[in-house]
Structure 1
Amino acid sequence: MSSLPPRHGFALRNARLVAALTLAGLAGGAQAAGSEIEQLKAQLRELATRFGQLEQRNQELEKKVTELSATAPKAAPIEARVKALEEAQTATDKALLSERLSENEPELVTRLKAVETQTLSMQKQTRQIEALEGITVEGGLVAVAQQVNGAGTESGDRESRLNYRGDIAVTLPGGEIGQAEGTIYAQLRFGQGDGVGLRPTYTSTTNSSTFQVAGVNDPDSSFAVLAQAWYQLNVPLPFDGYKAYSRQRLEFTVGKIDPFVFFDQNAAADDETALFLNNAFVHNPMLDSGGDAGVDAYGFTPGVRAAYVNEQDKAGIWSASLAVFGSGPATNFSGSLGKPFVIGQLEYSTRFFDGLPGNYRVYGWRNGRASDLDGNEDAHTGWGLSVDQRVTDDLTLFGRYGHRRSGTAAFGRALTLGAELSGNVWGRAADGLGLAAGLLRTSDDYRRASADGTVFGYAASGSERVAEIYYRYHVNDQIALTPDFQWISRPGGDDGAGDVKAFGLRATLGF
């Protein structure tokens, strides 16, 4: 059967019919036109031949079309393809509604989720880095083994003690107020060991690194205390100026504070974990050993501080600061804030000796609730100096002086001098050799009160003499070992007492 469209076969059949009828008609009228009929017959035969050829050609075309139809791929119906696409889209939408990965979901969705997970992870890390920006964490651990001869102990026997102390400090960004920037500071302290108990001396201790939580009455217990927690706001000046160009600022600090962080500083003698151990060389003896500083049993107190810093001249930076701290029971938050400990300081930092740095400080104080010789509460006032100056690339000198102007105490004046020599001189730049000496002068009130020897057991006079030498050996960037020797003559102003000798080894770990 022909595979051509029906209209083509119908046309050929009509052509054949017309030809037959024509031949019949012509045959019936042969008598009328004989010669013409012959001509027409010839033409009809020619037409019939041509029709036959066309018929044959049509059959050949039908055969080729059939062959091509058999070998050509069949096109998928449009409806089926549209349905398949709709089902795939539905599966994709359903898979995207869930955050979980599944082996049954489309591969495209799996890849999209994988990319999304990686992107979110990178964003999380970026947010964490941004959140940690400006945060610093510092920590240190110090351990001291010390032995004191019998002449220097409270028991009269040679004693040795081991103690340790740890500190962890965190500094955080405190936000901004206009152009002013805030800082949050917190410090935790823990440790065990009180050190060797000394016979009566003015210096109070040969080991300033000791720490033991009070009130526990259990040497096996070790607790951490919140040593410091304060907020500081730095305000650039002038107020309407461009912050980046500011060379002046105001500082406001409030919280639980170690006053010696901001007052009586000294580059060569204010860190018992790295420099001198004797309390007379760590801070001004009038404030610390003498008890005029309003601090709790651990050396901290609540308060507020304001300071002005001028850095316009890099050759000479100066500042002025004033602080009001709790005193007496207010230092541990158990009493009134009245009669505070007030201290003010002027500081000048410059460069002498061919540009070597030095710091010069003068300060005055008033503690409204200090303790007199008789144990009664009274106001104490005084003033002091703290100086440190590098005189060569390897040698730093320091000195302190303290003078009590009112109030009674065991000693009324104190002078300490010393130096630290860098190990760079002998090829160990990180090492250090320190040497210091001090005089703590017996006060007139104490001398009169002890003159007959019945109250304190001896007649105090003259000055207590203190000396210390150490060598800090740098093991690596985190560890240092420091052999230390101290000597105290005429302890407590007692001319008849034997010399106190303390040998120690300090190990420091910092990060």
Structure 2
Amino acid sequence: MTVFRFCLALAVMAPLPAFADEADVPQQDFAIHAQSTLVAQGTPGFSSPYAGTNSLAPNQARETWDATIYAGVRPWQGAELWVNPELDQGFGLSNTLGVAGFPSAEAYKVGKSNPYFKLPRLFLRQTIGLGGGKFAVDAAANQLRGMQDRNRLVITIGKFSVVDVFDTNSYAHDARSDFLNWSLVDAGAFDYAANAWGFTFGGALEWYQGAWTVRAGLFNLSKVPNQPSLETGFGQYQVLGELEHRHSLGGHPGAVRMGFWMTRGRLARLRDLIAAHDATGVMPDNADLRSMHDHWGGYFNAEQEVTPTLGLFARLSASDGVTEADDFTDIDRSASVGGQVKGAAWGRHDDRIGFAGVVNQITRTHQIYLDDGGYGTLVGDGRLPHPGSEWIAEGWYQVHMDRHVDLTLDYQFVANPGYNRDRGPAHVFALRLRGAI
């Protein structure tokens, strides 16, 4: 925990100066930021008449911790080069298994008891101005302070996360500062290209024009679904597109986004796995039936400020549901809605409350596969005689303890974990402590 205490010490250093007048905002040519997040999460007893390799276990508690440095430099006009070295430690509940909408997006599919190093991001972002007036860009992690044209092209290449660019949302997108649940911080059925930690190599192009933005991207998949190693040379890849429209309702900003993705990779088709099981009575290893297949889906993402202290969001997403999940989680249909409330109403201006609900589903073919003894990315109880939708509600309160330190109390209710009516419901409690500069 020495590194965690060090990062919290960094968090109480003096902040960068604020600039109210856009005309006076100077360009920042380099920056270093840091963050550290500790999440302790547990679940008491719940109904569990049987369990499989990927089941959520009752009566357990786990913790995860990470510390990240965000170092950036402007090598030439309009460009930003960023690197994010990181230390990680800990495990999610049941080794990050048992719930398709997993309760902590701070828990990865790879966990270790001792801190270990990884490099989640190393990327170059080039912004090309196209006029339309100027606006100020604040200093932040992976963002240098300065001025930008409202109309612009933005090119990002290197190693980063697909959801750094696509499916963003002001109210539900960061497990370190808002919702913890996997299917709330991102669209649940968005099986985006990534390694086991959620990052990949690729590039994205964004064209901002007035109230509209068009995005396109090309990214590598992992060499084997849900594993650390990434493909090279785009032998397995994902292409994405997104259309965003920004608007104002009654003077309050909002945005609507629609996205589509198509994956081309070595994946096992669920119907082939089921047929092999029916012929032999044994569910084969997915690796034995993997070959090149397409896997696709889409999402809808909306956010709207209602008052200066209340903002709402909603997401819908769906995938074809005919292959094993590639790199995210076992969700074929997902719908979520929620919001955030700022604490000004009760005299705590920097505190926040978050509330949301999500329902996740899988196709009938996917249900049969799990009932035959198949295992997904995160779920699999060995059988699924009584399948049902996975219903999750999450609520949290974030206490602003210091200008750079926040403490969050989080609760999640999970009905039918792993789509199994025989198990649960599970009550998941969490405490999150974060320091950042």
Q: TM-score, normalised by structure 1?
A: 0.65
Once residues 374 and 104 of structure 2 are traced to their aligned partners in structure 1, the CA distance between those partners, rounded to angstroms, is 30
The answer to whether the 8 A contact 2:56-2:93 is kept is no
Matched, 1:272 2:180: no
Q: What amino acid is the match of 2:43?
A: V
Matched, 1:258 2:161: yes
Matched, 1:307 2:215: no
Which residue of structure 1 lines up, in the alignment, with residue 188 of structure 2?
285
Once residues 368 and 148 of structure 2 are traced to their aligned partners in structure 1, the CA distance between those partners, rounded to angstroms, is 59
Which residue, 148, 160, 185 being the options, matches 2:43? 148
Which residue of structure 1 lines up, in the alignment, with residue 301 of structure 2?
386
Which residue, 200, 205, 208 being the options, matches 2:98? 200
Which residue of structure 2 lines up, in the alignment, with residue 18 of structure 1?
none
Once residues 202 and 294 of structure 1 are traced to their aligned partners in structure 2, the CA distance between those partners, rounded to angstroms, is 17
Which residue of structure 1 lines up, in the alignment, with residue 366 of structure 2?
446
In structure 2, runs of 5+ residues without a counterpart are 1-26, 132-146, 274-285, 325-329, 376-381
Which residue of structure 2 lines up, in the alignment, with residue 358 of structure 1?
254
Structure that is richer in strand per residue: 2
Could you report, residue by residue, the CA deviation over 1:397-443 in whole angstroms, capped at 9, with x for unpaired residues? 01111011363355421001111111111111111111110111221
Which residue, 220, 230, 234 being the options, matches 2:127? 234
Q: What amino acid is the match of 1:306?
A: L
Instruction: Kindly indicate whether structure 1 or structure 2 has the higher relative contact order, using CA contacts under 8 Å at least 6 residues apart.
Output: 2
Which residue of structure 1 lines up, in the alignment, with residue 117 of structure 2?
224
Q: Tell me, what secondary structure is at the counterpart of 2:113?
A: coil
Percent same amino acid among aligned pairs?
A: 24
Structure 1 pair 509/488, CA: closer, same or farther in 2 (3 Å)?
A: same
Which residue, 317, 326, 341 being the options, matches 1:402? 317
Q: Tell me, what secondary structure is at the counterpart of 2:307?
A: coil
Once residues 334 and 70 of structure 2 are traced to their aligned partners in structure 1, the CA distance between those partners, rounded to angstroms, is 32
Once residues 165 and 374 of structure 2 are traced to their aligned partners in structure 1, the CA distance between those partners, rounded to angstroms, is 41
Structure 1 pair 170/499, CA: closer, same or farther in 2 (3 Å)?
A: same
User: How far apart are residue 450 of structure 1 and its match?
Assistant: 4.6
Once residues 326 and 271 of structure 1 are traced to their aligned partners in structure 2, the CA distance between those partners, rounded to angstroms, is 23
Q: What amino acid is the match of 1:357?
A: P
Structure 1 pair 245/195, CA: closer, same or farther in 2 (3 Å)?
A: closer
Which residue of structure 2 lines up, in the alignment, with residue 416 of structure 1?
336
The answer to whether the 8 A contact 1:469-1:484 is kept is yes
Once residues 470 and 261 of structure 1 are traced to their aligned partners in structure 2, the CA distance between those partners, rounded to angstroms, is 23
Q: Tell me, what secondary structure is at the counterpart of 1:174?
A: coil
Root-mean-square deviation over aligned CA pairs: 2.6
Could you report, residue by residue, the CA deviation over 1:432-473 in whole angstroms, capped at 9, with x for unpaired residues? 111110111221212333567899312253311011110001
Once residues 265 and 433 of structure 1 are traced to their aligned partners in structure 2, the CA distance between those partners, rounded to angstroms, is 20
Which residue of structure 1 lines up, in the alignment, with residue 412 of structure 2?
486
Which residue of structure 1 lines up, in the alignment, with residue 355 of structure 2?
435
Which residue of structure 2 lines up, in the alignment, with residue 93 of structure 1?
none
Which residue of structure 1 lines up, in the alignment, with residue 265 of structure 2?
369
Could you report, residue by residue, the CA deviation over 1:276-300 in whole angstroms, capped at 9, with x for unpaired residues? 111111111112xxxx211011111
Q: Tell me, what secondary structure is at the counterpart of 2:397?
A: strand
Once residues 432 and 299 of structure 1 are traced to their aligned partners in structure 2, the CA distance between those partners, rounded to angstroms, is 27
How is 1:333-348 mapped onto 2 (pairs within 5 angstroms)? 333=230, 335-348=232-245
Once residues 150 and 341 of structure 2 are traced to their aligned partners in structure 1, the CA distance between those partners, rounded to angstroms, is 33
Once residues 266 and 251 of structure 1 are traced to their aligned partners in structure 2, the CA distance between those partners, rounded to angstroms, is 18
In structure 1, runs of 5+ residues without a counterpart are 1-131, 239-243, 312-316
Structure that is richer in helix per residue: 1
Which residue of structure 2 lines up, in the alignment, with residue 75 of structure 1?
none
The answer to whether the 8 A contact 2:44-2:59 is kept is yes
Larger radius of gyration: 1
Q: Tell me, what secondary structure is at the counterpart of 2:29?
A: coil
Q: Tell me, what secondary structure is at the counterpart of 1:210?
A: coil
Q: Tell me, what secondary structure is at the counterpart of 1:407?
A: coil
The answer to whether the 8 A contact 1:442-1:460 is kept is no
The answer to whether the 8 A contact 1:303-1:324 is kept is yes
Q: What amino acid is the match of 1:355?
A: G
Could you report, residue by residue, the CA deviation over 1:337-368 in whole angstroms, capped at 9, with x for unpaired residues? 1231111111111111x211111110000111
Structure 1 pair 246/285, CA: closer, same or farther in 2 (3 Å)?
A: closer
Which residue of structure 1 lines up, in the alignment, with residue 193 of structure 2?
294
Aligned length: 357
Q: TM-score, normalised by structure 2?
A: 0.76
The answer to whether the 8 A contact 2:221-2:230 is kept is no
Could you report, residue by residue, the CA deviation over 1:275-334 in whole angstroms, capped at 9, with x for unpaired residues? 0111111111112xxxx21101111100011121113xxxxx211010000013298345
How is 1:8-47 mapped onto 2 (pairs within 5 angstroms)? none
Q: What amino acid is the match of 1:304?
A: G
Q: What amino acid is the match of 1:253?
A: T
The answer to whether the 8 A contact 2:321-2:366 is kept is no
Q: Tell me, what secondary structure is at the counterpart of 1:497?
A: coil
Matched, 1:174 2:174: no
Structure 1 pair 389/155, CA: closer, same or farther in 2 (3 Å)?
A: closer
